[in-house]
Structure 1
Amino acid sequence: MSDNKQPFYELKPDTVIDAVESIGYLSDGRIMALNSYENRVYQVGIDESEPLIAKFYRPQRWTDEQIGEEHRFMAQLVEQDLSVVAPIKSDTGQTLFSYDDYRFSIFVRKGGRAPELEDPEHLFQLGNTLGRIHLAGQAEPFKHRPTLDIQSYGIDSTDFISRELIPASLKAAYDSLTSDLLREIDAAFKRAGDVVYQRVHGDCHGGNILWRDDMPHFVDFDDARMAPAIQDLWMLLTGDRHQQELQLGEVIDGYNEFASFNPRELHLVEALRTLRMMNYAAWIGRRWEDPAFPMSFPWFNTERYWGEHLLELKEQFAKLQEPVLKLL
């Protein structure tokens, strides 16, 4: 089910340290694996200095050109005085390194806590910062990184699940439901109209935002791609409909101080949420040969999991029938 190859799964601590030292750092031998599934990320102790974060990229996920675009986008944001954790540059300006067939980058370690998504001030500041990020993101497009679309996140994901993963007892129900969902998602995109696709963070959930010094700091642009602005906003919304509308109002108030939000993109909130759910299930399945995945997701690919997944998708079908959120 996967084209991932060894030795990525067998990345050893000694190799991590050797890789970091190959670009001029002297490690004190301390190493700690951090929570990351798609790539491998480690905190590496540095002799007489603060630890660094080493990120080793999964083979065959991104090309060097695509990683380079991610890094250049982050560097442009830093140049705009935005607080994003960008990769460290070498003396020659290099941010992507290789060692023993592994590709990796180095980051300064930054601490922080998750933002309080029920705090109006946090929401306003998040919107404010995302407005600035998107203003910079509109300056030029990605040429190599993908676009978030129904084909890649929806059709390809559900086809893979139907062909490779879904139990026979649920296949007919899954195929019927996802066909209906994809039709509703397509209709939602049509209702939204000709929205602007731009460079976005792409995976803007609370775990990728560090709150420190009374402001948000954005990390992990690994999923950066071309998408509507709302892709970086909808994951900040929690609770029932009324709560989400109140939260949305704070986020958009902050956002509009720097960029202009198109309200028609609100037609895409539940469509994008549904696509994310489809893509997430397929992502785990495609990575199942990586030993880290069965250990981290032991409940995946059981009849119970797929039954619950179907119920979640049915709930999304109902939400796609509801009126879009309003800006209060």
Structure 2
Amino acid sequence: MTATHSFSSLIPDVILDAVESTGLWSDSRIYPLNSYENRVYQIGIEEASPVIAKFYRPERWNEAQIREEHQTLLKLKAAGVPVVAPLEFSDESLLRHNDMYFCLSPRLVGQHPEADNLDQLYQIGELIGQLHKTLSTTPFKERISVSPLSQMDDAANQILTGRTLFGQSELAEELQLPEKLKPIYIRQIATLRDMCEASIKSYWPRQLRPIHGDSHRSNLMLHDGQFHLLDFDDCQNGVAVQDLWLHITQTENPRQQLSEIIEGYETYLPFETRELDLVDVFKCVRVISYTAWLQSRWHDPAFTKAFAWFGSEDYWINHLNELKNCELEWGQISR
């Protein structure tokens, strides 16, 4: 692929120049970490521990939104919540090099949670409860607020029309939903949207709260016996259960997992059990938005390499099956 993309100028020399612009001296070791929305690298530092350099995808978040993310992390760190906050240089955490925003943070070594470990689920519930309690008095002013039906509509419209979420550019034909599957897709989306709308009408919190927004297992690290939350790139005003439901991995009998997570959470805050009716809503939005995200980012060579299977007819059939499962499994969490 020869098209220009957001990170085409981010070659090793530029990465090292950016890091060394802070006054740190690199030993020239660069190790790319798994990240597609942004670019993240472990950078070796002379006579010191490596640092993690995160380069923000241009035009995704504006400066005020990124600064609010950093201010939140620094506030959480000061309050004793185990997070990885950005390093500050002359009281500045948001840095800029070659018109690209970046930040540096300490390297954290550890393991991600085990999916079915009930003790760890309790600890994760505690951590998220601590996070929500610490942030409860200061809603985000710059970050987005969750809007499930709008997110679902936007993502589904992109998939149906072939126009990206980020502008009006047409997607390549091979990335689009095949015409013969569109009637099935339209019916399935309409069914799920009605179900989502009914759940939201039944219960929606009066006030949204600051949340992590993407607290899946890969964004948690067990370090020195304590879980730490990583990557606040999607922090937003949302619903408490958004930070909890991704850790429920059992579909046939999720109650035991759910009980441990909520018990840990309630160490810090009461949990509104009516929010469990919204889990299916957020699951639908995640399934649809993930496919739309892959489409929208296909101009980035990192996506074509990592998700080479995307866009085939088999992929679209599997996507439709996922959506059907969302319908068939509706209510299993809240029953």
In structure 1, the residue matched to 2:7 is 8
Establish whether residue 237 from structure 1 lines up as the match of residue 236 from structure 2.
no
The aligned residue for residue 93 of structure 2 is 95
Q: 1:246 to 1:223 in 2, by over 3 A?
A: same
Pairing 1:23-172 to 2, within 5 Å after superposition: 23-91=22-90, 93-164=91-162, 165-172=176-183
Q: Equivalent of 1:249, from 221, 241, 259?
A: 259
Q: Give runs of ≥4 in structure 1 deviating > 6 Å.
A: none
| Cα distance change of structure 1 residues 126 and 13 upon mapping to structure 2, 3 Å threshold | same
Match of 1:270 in 2: 280
Q: 2:251·2:332 contact (CA, 8 Å) conserved in 1?
A: no
For structure 1, list consecutive stretches of 5 or more residues without a partner in the other structure.
Answer: none
Query: Residue 74 of structure 1 contacts residue 86 of structure 1 at CA under 8 Å; is this kept in 2?
Result: yes
> How many residues align structurally?
320
Q: Is contact 1:158-1:282 (8 Å) kept?
A: yes
Q: Tell whether the 8 Å contact from 1:31 to 1:45 is kept in structure 2 after alignment.
A: yes
Query: For 2:306 and 2:204, how far apart are their aligned partners in 1?
Result: 40
Distance 1:18 1:193 in 2: 48
CA distance in 2, matches of 1:152, 1:72: 28
Contact 2:255 2:333 in 1 (8 A): no
Aligned to 2:166: none
Partner of 1:19, secondary structure, is helix
Q: Report if the CA contact (8 A) 1:192-1:266 is conserved.
A: no
Alignment partners' CA distance in 1, 2:250 and 2:304:
31
TM-score norm. by structure 2 comes to 0.92
Q: Please list the CA deviations of residues 103-129 of structure 1 after superposition, one character each: whole Å capped at 9, or x if unmatched.
A: 100010001111123222211111111
* Candidates 301, 307, 311, aligned match of 2:317: 307
CA shift, 1:53, in A, is 0.5
In percent, how many aligned pairs have the same letter?
Answer: 38
Give the whole-Å Cα distance in 2 for the aligned partners of 1:222 and 1:67: 8
Q: CA RMSD in A?
A: 1.4
Structure-2 separation of matches of 1:179 and 1:240:
24
Equivalent in the alignment of 1:176: 187
Give, in angstroms, the shift of residue 241 of structure 1.
3.4
Instruction: State whether structure 2 residue 215 is matched by structure 1 residue 217.
Output: no
CA contact (8 A) 1:113 1:212 kept: yes
